[in-house]
Structure 1
């Protein structure tokens, strides 16, 4: 042959034979392997061209090497690279005859769902035992790699957050070629984000954040194509990615691997492993990197799901966790809610504090309020959602001014309607205890729907179960009746409302559980501190310091726990708290103006002036009389009901507060109008808005109350 002449095709086998290189082909669709004479000789067959079935060749190869070769071929097809593997040829007695090195170019035939492989093999000497040169994984590489992958898989499986996953990935020591820098890229829309990195200062991530996926950068290409990118040298990086090279040059690395993070068939991002030494990225090394990338993608996807669930749980807790309202003068209130051990951390138990309309004081300043505690059947998401709906319904019915029995009756019909719409398979019921509280007198009005009776701790420390009349749980019968029980919470006494979880947790039944709660209440020295008493109750049921624990609690907690403590301080307790000097005499007046007695409006005006005889601001007295007269006249003019007037003056002299309420039995609400200059009516609400410090309209069970307040300057 002359110089520069191409090598004739018929001479290729001869040249390969001279170099002791065999040529072979493999078609998996027909399960046919064709080998030339040199390849047949190396497989310990007669030195002549031969055609074999897959099982015939497999019988001459070490089982581990056959499986390894299959994996390398599949990896090379997915990455469109060469496949390289070491193959040990065995004799009939199980001894290793020789070790071959196979290099091939596999391709995938989608129509036949098969692989077509063309490659060469050459005999190589076994590596020296214990040798660990930098670069390709040699020596006892199989055992090292398998041990590493097992450890990496276990560590990544135990990581519960994205931060923990990245920390584990940064600590992975790959056999023979550990990277000195790692980065995980995510994708948001059409832009890259840096999820986390290791091996470089924090500020070095800035140039890579918010980078377009169309950028000439390896991670962007990986996300676009879903294929790994291996860069063996800085020269190759600069040639393939000239625009991205300036960003990578300052890290002074020698090789890079960028692999896709795929979970559930979706590319989540890309993983970059940077090396301070040159790496050839042999099939063995690529196999290790690809396996780690797959485990890393699964761990990140799992951690993202956990974090999303945690965020959802926290949002549900923030919106649905029980909470108590503002402090009420003359009462101390405390409550606790401890969810069950499920992952959602929100269940069907709840309690609530509801300011009631028609009070003689503004909410939070001593007016009437309701305490509600309940338990929806179940401990799942549906129970939590149903609890939220029922809680809103109870608030709405209470805000309309209905008495306790009417509130529960309406709530039962509401829940029955939900059950009817959901079908028989999703029927749920709920127990509930509704207590209307008058802080001034300590009077309690209770309605009970299948719930536990309340407990009372007397002033001397004795704890009793207070039997109350009750009806069926909510949602069972739409027309159920709920009788009312009334009694007075005397000074120094404490009311306990709880769900059955407080009693039954820890293997107790209701009887033995109540005995445990009673012993805790009677033995506690926190007679007036409701927060300390609440913590003591939780600790007695779940263990010390459990009220401070925010994570999943021990499995011995079978049910949600919810309870409320309502304490009416004794006079000595109020004195110790410095509240005694804050109690001032309250002056009241009440009057009724019937439809056929319009002259009584004048008498009411005069009584109000007498009530305000020592009020400092004379203009405010005139305003109060005018507004009261206007409200009474509106009732007689626009409704068929009688008007009831209640006026109350409270607070120390010089900073007193006047509250005037006019109540009628009509459901028609007042509306503000814009009368003309010559109109003789229609200015009532306008006057109230201009002259009163505060005003409002409170619907009641039957009728409404319109009120205004004035503050003494």
Structure 2
């Protein structure tokens, strides 16, 4: 070309280089080719416009399927879209391989794109490079298998540590980095979340680096665009300030990719190689896909860890530390949430120091209250109501109210806050809560119990016998603002343990109240250990092992929250330690009060006595004891205006024990023996006692009286023993 001649046109230059020009409008579905581009696609060498289907028919189907992914990758990175494509003739034979290089532009509203680029014929890759050619089917199959495995492994990772461990173990097809680092961003600082392939302490210079630093990861976080550095020269030229920091690791190529979730760049991922990598479109596609999966996995792990941290915080704030330790008593508790959500529901327990005064013992340990309850539901609202109700109960108890008054006030409080619906929460239904409130006197072991629709407490006696203690109760809290909650008084003897629990411990795994209670009773009877071990045994029997006192990695089959509260009065044989153990003779005792307005509790008294005598040698004597007890309590309700108090006590060793049952009332009218006719419906109480008891009597008291009888286990007759005399009654009946 001589001086002064005009420069050749772009078309002349492209033609001289055997390079075609093409424009692809994705929105219109049309591809415009110049003469050279048409020739390269096996068409007549003249400008033409084809539909997408027309172009697709000229290209290998595998290569065609890659084009959209390559374009999307280029759009995301702001780079050129490069692809190798095999051109097919009408018989489906490959006639040449072309390389396309184009700059995609996208419509931000529709997402449709337009390509303007070049086509140029290239030679086939040499055999040694087959692993990295984008037109090799084996490479594609390996890549797809790798991405499938990587996606599955990252999806199963539950924590940030697991995600990083999975990322470090990824072996990419044809090229695998030997150095990895995951960067995060906190404010205007770059942080190191984790790394692999480096020595401890290597991350020091890169930690807390300003995002304005001339460093690839900082630029990726700022811009959201990937950075590929194929050679050390590229790194040094683009980032001269930070090159000395990277030079000492001896790497040859680097890829820094954004970790983006929902359009927000949360960090950057670095993949470094000890050998040169050209970062072809296929290699960039693999790295970009892994970065997206890694970002999603890290985001999920972060959410899970944040929820776990929030859950632990809520549990720590809502579940109090039990203490200080009460002289002569021990307390243990467990809280196990359900498997879903924030793992905080409506179950709770509490231990409340009560006001001092005359109730304070010589040891300085005053009365305290144990509370356990369950707000309806397992959602955040249930947890919020539980927190408010727990605070209210603490306030009422600290004011010095008795158990019945505490629950009455708490019921009005809950009714008020759940039935005052505002327009913002008009979809919120009224909620109720069950609750059991126990006021404890450590000096005497006396328990004053008020119950609001909650399961009754259970008592494990010194010899392992377990009794369910029926207590008077009222409606659940929050249903009736004027509900009453009667108080039941029980005595906790030395070496006895009281169990309080929510229904989640009982009605789980297909069990109802009866079968669930039998399972819990068996655990209590068979346990041989301290209180903490017993609490663990109760929880593990339902939901598997736990490594924490309040929560832990339990089985996913949780159906309901669980709260468990145990109170032990220290004594010989309780298993809670011998620091303040009290030696006592073997004794079982139960106490039941039956009010005039509660005749249905007579059946409960009979059941209590049968449970107390569950291992008595003679079934006939057990039936006799139940019959006499029923008669004694019923007579009080029928013939007096007073309430009946039943106390049953069994002492001695097995085979030679004594049962003493005492029924006390406040009436001064003494019973007298009558001779009822055959058709009479009453008058047989004392006659039965004279026939069935080993000893019985009536004792007047200052106010009222007590009627009692005794049975001796050694006096049980064996009807099959011919040497045993047939004597159906006591030889000496004490005078009334």
The interval holding the TM-score normalised by the smaller chain is: 0.7 to 0.9
- Give the one of 226, 231, 240 matched to 1:228: 226
Counterpart for residue 646 of structure 2: none
Counterpart for residue 352 of structure 1: 350
Structure 2 residue matching 1:100: 3-state secondary structure: strand
Counterpart for residue 445 of structure 1: 448
Counterpart for residue 517 of structure 1: 520
Structure 1 residue matching 2:473: 3-state secondary structure: coil
Shift of 1:413: 1.0
**How far apart, in 2, do the equivalents of 1:355 and 1:331 lie?**
14
Structure 1 residue matching 2:479: 3-state secondary structure: coil
Greater displacement, 17-26 / 501-510: 17-26
Counterpart for residue 417 of structure 1: 416
Shift of 1:137: 8.8
Structure 2's unaligned 5+ residue stretches are 584-736
Alpha carbons 2:371, 2:437 under 8 Å: kept: yes
Shift of 1:15: 5.5
Alpha carbons 1:137, 1:285 under 8 Å: kept: no
**How far apart, in 2, do the equivalents of 1:573 and 1:75 lie?**
70
For residues 147-189 of structure 1, the C-alpha deviation after alignment (integer angstroms, 9 at most, x for no partner) is 2221221121112222222222222222222222122221111
Shift of 1:117: 2.3
Alpha carbons 1:322, 1:337 under 8 Å: kept: no
Counterpart for residue 295 of structure 2: 297
Counterpart for residue 405 of structure 1: 404
Counterpart for residue 478 of structure 1: 481
Greater displacement, 385-394 / 404-413: 385-394
**How far apart, in 1, do the equivalents of 2:193 and 2:362 lie?**
48
Shift of 1:306: 1.1
Counterpart for residue 390 of structure 1: 389
1:296–1:579 distance in 2 versus 1, CA, 3 Å:
closer
Counterpart for residue 55 of structure 1: 53
- Give the one of 326, 329, 332 matched to 1:331: 329
**How far apart, in 1, do the equivalents of 2:550 and 2:417 lie?**
35
Shift of 1:42: 2.3
Counterpart for residue 569 of structure 1: 570
For residues 585-629 of structure 1, the C-alpha deviation after alignment (integer angstroms, 9 at most, x for no partner) is xxxxxxxxxxxxxxxxxxxxxxxxxxxxxxxxxxxxxxxxxxxxx
- Give the one of 483, 496, 501 matched to 2:499: 496
**How far apart, in 2, do the equivalents of 1:42 and 1:410 lie?**
89
Runs of 4+ in 1 over 6 A off after TM superposition: 3-6, 133-137, 544-549, 571-576
Structure 1 residue matching 2:265: 3-state secondary structure: strand
1:50–1:132 distance in 2 versus 1, CA, 3 Å:
closer
Alpha carbons 2:134, 2:140 under 8 Å: kept: no
- Give the one of 62, 69, 72 matched to 1:71: 69
Q: Is 2:316 the counterpart of 1:313?
A: no
For residues 440-496 of structure 1, the C-alpha deviation after alignment (integer angstroms, 9 at most, x for no partner) is 122221111111112223344332222211111001111111111123223343322
**How far apart, in 1, do the equivalents of 2:260 and 2:471 lie?**
61
1:39–1:200 distance in 2 versus 1, CA, 3 Å:
same
**How far apart, in 2, do the equivalents of 1:573 and 1:223 lie?**
62
1:524–1:234 distance in 2 versus 1, CA, 3 Å:
closer
Q: Is 2:282 the counterpart of 1:284?
A: yes
- Give the one of 175, 178, 201 matched to 1:177: 175
1:502–1:70 distance in 2 versus 1, CA, 3 Å:
closer
**How far apart, in 1, do the equivalents of 2:276 and 2:240 lie?**
20
Alpha carbons 1:77, 1:107 under 8 Å: kept: yes
Alpha carbons 2:184, 2:190 under 8 Å: kept: yes
Greater displacement, 445-454 / 573-582: 573-582
For residues 102-148 of structure 1, the C-alpha deviation after alignment (integer angstroms, 9 at most, x for no partner) is 22233345588643323222333444567546798967322222222
1:249–1:135 distance in 2 versus 1, CA, 3 Å:
farther
**How far apart, in 2, do the equivalents of 1:438 and 1:362 lie?**
9
1:274–1:136 distance in 2 versus 1, CA, 3 Å:
farther
Structure 2 residue matching 1:504: 3-state secondary structure: coil
Alpha carbons 2:546, 2:552 under 8 Å: kept: no
1:285–1:400 distance in 2 versus 1, CA, 3 Å:
same
Alpha carbons 1:505, 1:556 under 8 Å: kept: no
**How far apart, in 2, do the equivalents of 1:138 and 1:580 lie?**
81
Alpha carbons 1:135, 1:280 under 8 Å: kept: no
Shift of 1:3: 7.5
Alpha carbons 2:433, 2:476 under 8 Å: kept: yes
For residues 660-711 of structure 1, the C-alpha deviation after alignment (integer angstroms, 9 at most, x for no partner) is xxxxxxxxxxxxxxxxxxxxxxxxxxxxxxxxxxxxxxxxxxxxxxxxxxxx
1:539–1:168 distance in 2 versus 1, CA, 3 Å:
closer
Structure 2 residue matching 1:220: 3-state secondary structure: helix
Structure 1's unaligned 5+ residue stretches are 583-713
